[in-house]
Structure 1
Amino acid sequence: MRIVVHGQQAFGKSVLEALLDRGDDVVAVYCAPDAGGRSDPLKEYALHLGFEVNQPASWADPVELEKFRSHNADLCVMAYVTAYVPEEVLNAPVMGSIQYHPSLLPMHRGPSSINWSIINGETNTGLTIFWPDSGLDTGPVLLQKDVAIGPDDTAGSVYFNSLYPMGVDAILESIDRIESGRAPKDPQDPAAGSYEGWCRQKDAEIDWYKPATTVYNLIRGCNPQPGAWTMIAGRKVTIYDSALAGSMAVEPGQITDISGEGGITIAADKGSIMVMQVKVDEEDKITALQYAERTGLKVGDRVGSKPSES
C-alpha cells in the first residue's frame, strides 16, 4: 500500500520510522511550514533519508492539491496534524486518510485535548484513530485505546509515557486493519463530547483562592506547556513540579513553608501546593528552593493576587 505520511515533530518522525522499519511503502512526506527558526524533527529525518519534504503554505493553492494527487497514494496517515486540511486532500488517496488524536473522541476535540482532560480533573483519557472529514475532529472512528490518568500525572507524562508510544502502535494497527478490510467507520455522535481550543497563557494563570485540587490539576495539565503561572514580587513565575499538601489556616496565596526537603508551600482554598520547580520569566528552570534563596522569599509572603485585583 502506497502511504503518504503527513505529520509533525517527534511523533511524526516516530511514525515514519515505524512504517519504514516494517517495510511499508512510504511515497511522500508532508509537514507544516517551518516556524520560529526551529526545524521539524520529521522534516530533518525525512530529508536525511532522501525524501522530498512537502510543506504547503496553503492547501488553497491548486498546485499543491495536484502535487498531492500525483503521489497516487492508497492512504494518507496524519500523525499529529493540527492545521486544517480540506476534504479534497483527505479524500485524494484511494482509501482516504486516517488521523491520530490524543483523546477518546468525541470528548476533547481540539488541539489541547491532553491539557484539558487533566485540568478538568479527569482520571481517564485515551487516543483515537479516526477518518477525518471537514469538521474539527468529527470524522468516523476507526479504533480507540484507553489510558489512565494518575493523580500526579502531568500533560507531559501522559503523552510521552502513554499516548505517544501507544499512538504509534495504534497507527500501525489501523493500517493493518485497513489492508485486511477490517477497519470500521463508526460515526461520532455530533451531540456528544466536547470541544476546547488551545490551552494558552491566559488559561494558565493560577487563582490561589480556588480549591487546592483545582490549582493542582491546572499545574499538572499545563506542565510542560503552556505552564501554569503566578506573579511573585512583580515577576511572572511558572510552576512545574509540584505536589498537593495539607491545609493551613491562612489566606490563600500566602507562603506557609520553605523547606530544603520539598520546596515552597503556598496556601490555596482547602489545602496547599508544594512547589518544587519553577521558571522566572524566560530564564531556565530552577528548584523552588533556589528561587527562594535568590529572591529572599520568606514564609508569610504573598503570591498572586486577590480575585478583586485580577
Structure 2
Amino acid sequence: MRIVVHGQQAFGKAVLERLLERGEDVVAVCCAPTKEGKPEDPLVEFAREKGLPVHQPASWKTPEALELMKSFNADICMMAYVLLFVPEEVRDAPTYGTFQYHPSLCPMHRGPSSINWPIAMGSTMTGLSIFWPDDGLDEGPIMLQKTCEIGPDETLGDVYFKKLFPMGVDAMIEGLELVKAGVIIKHDQRLEDGSYESWFGKDAATIDWSKPAQEVYNIIRAANPAPGARATIKDTEVQIYDSALLEGDGTPGEVVSATDEGITMQADGGRILIKRLRPVGGDKQPAGAWYQG
C-alpha cells in the first residue's frame, strides 16, 4: 500500500519511524514550511535522512497542491499532527482518502489545545481519536478511539508524552491495518454533543487565587509545560510549573511560606506548593530559591 505521511514535529517523525520499521511503502512526506530562522522540523530531517521525498507547500488550497497529492498515486494519506487546512479534494486524492490523529475523544475538546482543556476542567479521563477529517474544525467520521486516565497530579506533559503520544502512534498503525483489511469504520461524531475550544493561552492560564484550590491546581497542571500558568508574586509576574496541592486555610492570594521546597500560596479552601517557576522573561528555577533571593 502506497502511503503519504503528512505531519510535523516529534509525533509525525514517530509515525514515520514506525512505518519504515514495518517496511511500509512511504512514497512521500509532507510538512508545513520551515519558518525563517527556525530549526528544521524533526519529521523533515528524518525523512531526508531516509532518502524520502519531502514536500512543504505553503498552502494546500491551490491547484498545484492538488496536483502534487495526485502525483503521489497514493492509496492512503496519514495525517499525524497537521495544523495546515487540507481541503476535501486533496484529502480524497488517495484511493482510500485520508485519516487523522487528534488527541481528544472527539467530538469533545476539538481545537488546538485539546489536551490542556480536560485537565483544566478537572476531567479524570481523556483519549485520542483517529478520524476521517472533513472541512470542519477537527470534525469528521471517527474510525477508532482510545481512552486513558488523567491522574490527580498529572500535568499536560505527563498526559501527552507518557500516554497520548505512544498510544497515538499505535492507533495510527491500527488505523492503517483497518484500511488494509477493508474494515473502514466511520461513526458520525455529529450525533453527539461536542465542543470546540480555542488555544489554552495566557488568559486561560492566569491564576485567580480566590478560586477553589483544586481549580487552581488543575490550571497549573494543564499549563505545564506550556504555556505555563501565570500569577503575580512579590509584584513580579511569574509562570508556574511543578506544583502540589496541599490542605490549609487562610486568606486567598497570601504567601503562606517560602522554603527550600518552594513557595506555598493560599487559595480558597486549600494551598498550592509552587516548586518551580519562571519570572516572565527569565529562566525556570526553583521557586523557593527565587523567592528568598
Normalising by structure 1, we get a TM-score of 0.92
Show the 5 A alignment for 1:134-145: 134-145=135-146
Query: Which residue does 1:24 correspond to in 2?
Result: 24
Please state how far the C-alpha of 1:191 moved relative to its aligned partner: 5.2
Query: Which residue does 2:185 correspond to in 1?
Result: 184
Please state how far the C-alpha of 1:207 moved relative to its aligned partner: 0.6
**Bigger Cα displacement from structure 2, 75-84 vs 122-131:** 75-84
Please state how far the C-alpha of 1:52 moved relative to its aligned partner: 2.5
Query: Which residue does 1:90 correspond to in 2?
Result: 91
Q: Say which SS state the counterpart of residue 118 (structure 1) adopts.
A: helix
Render the CA deviation track for 1:75-121: whole Å, top value 9, x for unaligned.
Answer: 00000112211111111110000100001111111111100010000
Render the CA deviation track for 1:17-67: whole Å, top value 9, x for unaligned.
Answer: 000000110000011111361321101111111223211111222112211
Q: Say which SS state the counterpart of residue 113 (structure 1) adopts.
A: coil
Please state how far the C-alpha of 1:257 moved relative to its aligned partner: 1.2
Q: Say which SS state the counterpart of residue 172 (structure 1) adopts.
A: helix
Please tell me the residue identity of whatever aligns with 1:253. G
**Bigger Cα displacement from structure 2, 7-16 vs 233-242:** 233-242
Render the CA deviation track for 1:283-307: whole Å, top value 9, x for unaligned.
Answer: 221111121122xxxxxxxxxxxxx
Q: Say which SS state the counterpart of residue 189 (structure 1) adopts.
A: helix
Show the 5 A alignment for 1:150-189: 150-189=151-190
Render the CA deviation track for 1:256-302: whole Å, top value 9, x for unaligned.
Answer: 01122x210000111110000001113221111121122xxxxxxxx
Query: Which residue does 2:124 correspond to in 1?
Result: 123
- Distance, in Å, in 2 between the alignment partners of 1:270 and 1:208 is 10
- Distance, in Å, in 2 between the alignment partners of 1:39 and 1:282 is 25
Query: Which residue does 1:271 correspond to in 2?
Result: 270
Show the 5 A alignment for 1:250-289: 251-260=251-260, 262-289=261-288
Please state how far the C-alpha of 1:248 moved relative to its aligned partner: 2.2
Please state how far the C-alpha of 1:10 moved relative to its aligned partner: 0.3
Query: Which residue does 1:64 correspond to in 2?
Result: 65
Q: Say which SS state the counterpart of residue 46 (structure 1) adopts.
A: helix
**Bigger Cα displacement from structure 2, 97-106 vs 276-285:** 276-285
Matched positions, count: 292
- Distance, in Å, in 2 between the alignment partners of 1:190 and 1:115 is 24
Q: Say which SS state the counterpart of residue 204 (structure 1) adopts.
A: coil
- Distance, in Å, in 2 between the alignment partners of 1:269 and 1:283 is 29
- Distance, in Å, in 2 between the alignment partners of 1:175 and 1:227 is 36
- Distance, in Å, in 2 between the alignment partners of 1:271 and 1:64 is 55
- The answer as to 2:54 corresponding to 1:53 is yes
Residues 200 and 226, structure 1, Cα contact 8 Å, conserved in 2: yes
CA RMSD of aligned residues (A): 1.2
Please tell me the residue identity of whatever aligns with 1:276. K
Where do 5+ consecutive residues of structure 2 fail to align? none
- Distance, in Å, in 1 between the alignment partners of 2:153 and 2:81 is 25
Show the 5 A alignment for 1:201-240: 201-240=202-241
Residues 212 and 244, structure 1, Cα contact 8 Å, conserved in 2: yes
Normalising by structure 2, we get a TM-score of 0.97
Query: Which residue does 2:43 correspond to in 1?
Result: 42
Render the CA deviation track for 1:126-181: whole Å, top value 9, x for unaligned.
Answer: 01100111111111110111100000011110000000001000010110111011
- Distance, in Å, in 1 between the alignment partners of 2:265 and 2:15 is 42
Where do 5+ consecutive residues of structure 1 fail to align? 295-310
Q: Say which SS state the counterpart of residue 136 (structure 2) adopts.
A: coil
Please state how far the C-alpha of 1:190 moved relative to its aligned partner: 4.9
Query: Which residue does 1:11 correspond to in 2?
Result: 11
**Bigger Cα displacement from structure 2, 80-89 vs 165-174:** 80-89
- The answer as to 2:150 corresponding to 1:149 is yes
